[in-house]
Amino acid sequence: MTLRDLFTPKRVFFSLIVILLLLFFSRQVVTTLVPFIIGIILAALLDPIISYLVKRLRLPRGLSVGLTLLAVGSATLAMLFFSISRMVSELIELTNLLPTYARAITELTDDLLDHFNQLNEHIPTVISLNIQRSVEGFLGSLETGTRDLINRVLSTFASLPTFFLVSLISLVSTYFAARDKDLLVDAMLRLVPPRWRDQVSHARERVAVDLVGYLKGRILLLIIAVLLSGTGFFIIGTRYWVLLALVVGILDTIPIIGPGILFTPWIAISALGGDLDMAVYLTILYFIIFAVHQLIEPKIMGDSVGIHPLMMLLALYGGIVFFGAWGIIAGPFIAILIKAIMAAGLITWPDRS
């Protein structure tokens, strides 16, 4: 099938209508589909374990799905309980200590201004006062913004009923998607014209394998970043090491920005405040996290997805440009989808010879 056969006027017209309707009702559509998308992704991730139980232990597929969900769910709940309880306690403590930290930074700024005035006694008093007021205003805004951010994070726990509802629907959809995988795949393939079914089936399998591989690779990189940073923060004796390790792990998944947005100002503040030991420790820890990430990411993602790291970086950046924060997910998915479609022969370039 060539591009000319694929993009007929009738197909383009109906595709545009569908796209416009999806854009108009995008919020409702996304909100409705999120639990089921999560269920399908979880079913794909758990399928190797389920298939192992079915083939090796001769268990019924429904029982294998139930046991797998029970084991994975119990482990996940235990980790979430520990992480969330520790995060909440650390966030509350951090909120209470924000004024103390703000005063310490203000004192540091005053000391720097005193040194600056001693080095240059000819600086006008008005300029010095303006600088001091600007710094104090910035610090006040920073404290207020940080406090608001922490309060918003804490307030999200008030929406736990909605979270539990979405989790319940996702769990049920995971069970049925995993148990009836073959039936669902056959039903979807019957919607495809017979002459395209082989190519679509091949593309579906390729997308599933690559998408699961990509998710596994990203989760593995996040776990490595959390373990490295958490171990380093614990050895250094940093307060809130669990919270900081989770933040570093999340930042590590964001291209271009990365953990540097946390470490760079922290190192600078420690050095300016005279805590050179902490600055050196943080620099070493950041270098280790950065070096390990750069060394293992191409190998993990290349083996998991089979897409060159440069093309994956392009997909991530393009996804962020077009879709914002959701582009971190949408960009790689589109790249994986295009790769699968091309590999399955659904789209071929016309021969101009």
Last residue within a domain, chosen from 131, 156, 180:
180
Last residue within a domain, chosen from 130, 156, 180:
180
35 and 170, same domain (yes or no): yes
Q: Is 187 part of any domain?
A: no
pLDDT at 207: 75
pLDDT at 109: 66
Cβ proximity of 46 and 68 under 8 Å? yes
Give the domain range for residue 257. Answer: 192-353
Q: How many domains does the chain contain in total?
A: 2
The helix (run of H) or strand (run of E) holding residue 103 is helix 61-119
Q: Is 2 part of any domain?
A: no
pLDDT at 132: 63
The helix (run of H) or strand (run of E) holding residue 3 is helix 3-6
174 and 30, same domain (yes or no): yes
The dihedral built from the CA positions of residue 298, 337, 50 and 37, taken in this order, carries a sign that is: positive
pLDDT at 11: 65
pLDDT at 353: 47
Cβ proximity of 244 and 225 under 8 Å? no
pLDDT at 72: 87
306 and 345, same domain (yes or no): yes
Q: Is 95 part of any domain?
A: no
Q: Which two tokens stand for residue 346?
A: 């659904």
Closest CA to 79 of 249, 196, 218, 317: 249
Last residue within a domain, chosen from 180, 205, 226:
180
Q: Is 104 part of any domain?
A: no
Closest CA to 328 of 177, 221, 169: 221
Task: Give the CA-trace dihedral at 276, 277, 278, 283, to 10 degrees.
Answer: 90
Q: Is 186 part of any domain?
A: no
Per-residue pLDDT of the chain in tens (353 residues, 90 and over written 9): 555 555 566 666 666 777 776 666 666 766 777 788 888 888 888 888 888 888 888 888 889 899 998 998 888 888 777 777 776 776 677 667 667 766 766 676 667 666 666 655 555 666 666 666 766 676 666 667 666 666 666 566 556 667 777 788 888 888 888 888 878 877 777 776 777 677 777 777 777 777 777 778 888 888 999 999 999 999 988 877 888 888 888 888 776 678 888 888 888 878 877 778 888 999 999 999 888 887 887 777 767 777 777 777 787 777 777 776 667 777 777 888 777 777 766 655 555 54
